[in-house]
Structure 1
Amino acid sequence: MVTVDSEALSQVLGAIDLRVGVGRRERLDAGGLLPLAPGDATLVYVAEGAVRGIPPLDSGCRLDIDRDSHRVEVDGPKGSAVLHRGDAFLTLGRGPVALVSDEATTLIVVALELADLTPALRSALPDYITVTGFDVLEPAAAALAENMGPVVPSEHPKRQGDPLICRLMATTVLLSVIRSWAENGCAPEGWPHVSKDPFLDRVVEAIHQAPGREWTVERLAGVGAMSRSAFAERFRSAIGRSPADYVTEVRIDAAKRMLEAGRSVSETSRELGYSSDEGFSRAFRRRTGVNPSAWRRLPVPA
């Protein structure tokens, strides 16, 4: 488990520039479907009922809380990725996601725009953040979530519809979700010490701008105006992973978006710098659990 410095975490969360939409209530009958379009970051709080995800929401690091003992478990049992009342879910919109209700369900849904995230911070956040028992870990934030979105429009319409108040509430809930996820064992190595180093920021930006370039350690060190040995150690300390692993992660994230847009496997492989489709497919499957062709066939919500 990664130990998170609370002061550093507060600085990271305080630096996130949020543009938050007004929360809305989505009521689903049993078997109802709520698509979340790729490209849109979305915060979801389960006010009533239960939902599961397509694809399953147990990928990545999942935080589970026993409601009786308040014991926190990281990476709970696979196949348990059904969200119940009091659970929270955040998707950064890197791929298509749909929520399917197992029973009559009420969801609080907030559209987000995470503006001006540094590339390092954007990479540090996973595709999904899932916190079961969010109402146990963060009861005050959960109470805010319960009251986002008009319940009865005729009652207190001005207060419920005040955009400033709604956005402040949504921002509080969002940051509480990220904080509980990070502080209870799901933070990646190096979190929250994402780079505030202008030389490393230059390197990270270069990778994101041209993920298909042949990025050797020497070339990356040159972008950061450092020696090879100093760069590799400094990068791992600040970002929490090796330069090569970071390049692969950025490439696979780009590949997901290209495949979802209808690009072929071969075209995607070539543009992202892979010498063969087979090598690209192996790298993609290691990161996502499916091959690129299967990813292209995943339904994209309208």
Structure 2
Amino acid sequence: MTLHPPWTPTDAVGEALHVLRMSGTFYCRSELSAPWGFTLPAMPGCLWFHVVTAGGCLLEVGDGVRELREGDLVLVPRGEGHVLRSDPRASTPSILAIPHDMPDSRYAVLRHGGGGAPATMVCGAVRFDHPAARTLVGLLPDLIHVPVSPLTDRLRDTLRLIALEVEELRPGGEAVITRLADVLVIQAIRTWMGTAATARTGWLGALADPQIGRALALVHRDPARDWSVAALAAEVAMSRSAFAARFTALVGEPAMAYVTRWRMHVALDRLAGGDTVARIAAELGYRSEAAFSRAFTRVVGEPPGAARRALAARDAPAGWETAVG
């Protein structure tokens, strides 16, 4: 039996949020004065966030332009390149070309602009490592803009704490800002999940279903267990046929196809972390390395060795990470 700490959520939505643990690729506190602007590079596999702690700016991503005001929070969930600037005429050099102060390898202070109206921001690029987190982030819209007016009290309190740290950076302030920023990202995603109509359909909607959501949580917690449709149905007190039909209708694929695909998500994580194929196969409940490799190739489209090489190439430092690291 798999044991979990007492704070592990018992509902599938809570568990999906529980695993939104981030590894910060980069955080930046920006002290800006109009006119100012810069272009942020694409960061595939990362989520960009921006918190406006004073002043305002324009955000341009894709074909859209958003006006951001003091207290606004915006997420770019799939790490698309985008532009921030004080006004439509401000030039936007690559942020990689603008000098930064670097208190540590993953935290920068940017001072930039022409000496006019001030603005301050906290920005960052974070990566989610858990497969459930990456699945959830993949379902988010291209842009999440949380304006100041409808913010919940908890979001507002977190923003206030970040703004106070930015105004008076004390010893350890960088660590406080990055931790608060991580909390803010999770709060923003939770706010979107609670209000967006699209969050009530598909995989996210299935997470909220009392029975299918519980079945998903069981698979996520213990993917190595010898699951069957009958075993999952018994766990959630449904008949086998009713469970199978409801699972497919809500999730969009049969239960056992989901179990196998989820195991391969976990396997990809383990490969990226350096585990051997033999160890991954054993820990995911496969009787042999060959059986695991066949299943992996069928689902992922390439053998584990090739996938490991592709993951290594993806995670190699380049561009922004090299420049700031």
- Counterpart residue number, 2:202: 189
Question: Quick check: 48-57 or 207-216, which moved more?
Answer: 48-57
Number of the residue aligned with 1:281: 297
Normalised by the length of structure 1, the TM-score is 0.50
In the alignment, the residues of structure 2 paired with residue 212 and residue 102 of structure 1 have an alpha-carbon distance, to the nearest angstrom, of 44
CA contact (8 A) 1:20 1:171 kept: no
Q: Classify 1:279/1:101 alpha carbon distance in 2 versus 1 (closer, same or farther; 3 Å).
A: farther
Q: Larger RCO: Structure 1 or Structure 2 (Cα < 8 Å, ≥ 6 residues apart)?
A: 1
Report how many residues are paired: 229
> In the TM superposition, what whole-angstrom CA distance separates every residue of 1:132-166 from its partner, at most 9, and x where no partner exists?
5x5xx444499x9999968997x5347x9599998
Q: Using the TM superposition, give the Cα deviation of residue 228 of structure 1 relative to its aligned residue in structure 2, in angstroms.
A: 1.0
Measure how far apart 1:67 and its partner are. Answer: 2.0
Equivalent pair of 1:150/1:161 in contact (CA under 8 Å):
no
Equivalence for 1:35: none
CA offsets 1:155-199 (integer angstroms, 9 cap, x no match): 5347x95999987776455443565698486886153452452x5
Deviation at 1:247, TM superposition (A): 0.7
- Name the amino acid aligned to 2:83: R
In the alignment, the residues of structure 1 paired with residue 45 and residue 138 of structure 2 have an alpha-carbon distance, to the nearest angstrom, of: 12
What's the counterpart of residue 265 of structure 2?
253
Matched residues in 2 for 1:69 and 1:110: separation? 19
Which residue of 2 is the match for residue 49 of structure 1? 39
Tell me how far apart the structure 2 counterparts of residues 128 and 280 of structure 1 sit (CA, whole Å). 23
Instruction: Specify the code of the residue in structure 2 equivalent to 1:219.
Output: A
Q: Distance in 2 between matches of 1:123 and 1:200?
A: 20
Q: Percent identity?
A: 23
Aligned to 1:83: 81
Q: Which residue of 2 aligns with 1:67?
A: 64
1:6-17 → structure 2 map (5 Å cutoff): 16=17
* Structure-2-length-normalised TM-score: 0.47
Unpaired runs of 5+ residues, structure 1, are 1-11, 28-46, 58-63, 71-79, 87-99
Query: Judging changes above 3 Å, is the alpha-carbon distance between structure 1 residues 222 and 150 closer, same or farther for their aligned structure 2 residues?
Result: closer
Distance of aligned partners of 1:260 and 1:146 in 2 relative to their CA distance in 1, 3 Å threshold? same
One-letter amino acid matched to 1:279: A
Aligned to 2:50: none
| Partner of residue 108, structure 1 | 123
**The residue matched to 2:204 in structure 1 has which SS?**
coil
Distance 1:140 1:148 in 2: 15
Cα distance change, pair 131–149 in 1 and its aligned pair in 2 (3 A): farther
Alignment of 1:88-237 (within 5 A): 103-104=97-98, 108-109=123-124, 125-126=136-137, 131-132=142-143, 134=144, 137-140=145-148, 155-157=167-169, 161=173, 171-176=183-188, 183=196, 189-195=202-208, 197=210, 200=212, 203-236=215-248
